[in-house]
Amino acid sequence: MTLILASQSASRRAMLDAAGVAYTAQPAWVDEDGVKAAMVGQLPRDIADALAELKAIKVSQAHPAALVLGSDSLVALADGTLLDKPVSREDAADHLRAMAGGTHDLWSAAVIAEAGRPVWRHVERARLVVRALSEDFIGSYLDAEWPAIAGCVGCFRIEGPGVQLFSKIDGSHFTVLGMPLLPVLDYLRVRGELAS
């Protein structure tokens, strides 16, 4: 059976590549902003799960014989505000200022669909403890990382200079990268897609 990753995320592709998983990638092109607007007031974990499911189902409807993996990540600030992908360098600076000195939740969800319906799902949380960030640090960080982080919720690539934002992280490294990889691999083994 074919595995399709319903994403254009470089980090999700890199995780599957590094794990030796055979797949093809096809972006789902869903209206993430519309879903988030419709789910205002819902728990961040439920929003991440709904977005992952929507991506998986959309691609699965076009490829019913494949297993389709959808995934989504959200950063929820300590006050409950959800961070989106920054739309500009100044927006990214505002996100970093809002995160500085606080403990926030990163939710990563994965849903696998088959024949247009979800057959498996998993949601994980990582706690991000962001150190105090000076304006000088924010400026130099964005000089180095913008616009590469434009597509990153939370304005960081943990596998690069973004690791400098944190004093502590509780949770799976893969969840922070954007997908709860170990449970995904477990399900693929259950389905016989990977050797057990």
82 SS3 class = strand
Helices 181-190 and 10-19, axial angle in degrees (round to 10): 50
Catalytic residue among 33, 49, 72, 84: 72
Joined tokens for residue 105 = 């939740």
> Which ranges constitute the DSSP H helices of the chain?
10-19, 32-38, 44-62, 89-99, 135-145, 173-177, 181-190
Give catalytic status of residue 72 as yes or no. yes
Q: How far apart are CA 32 and CA 55, in angstroms?
A: 9
Could you give the residue numbers annotated as active site? 72
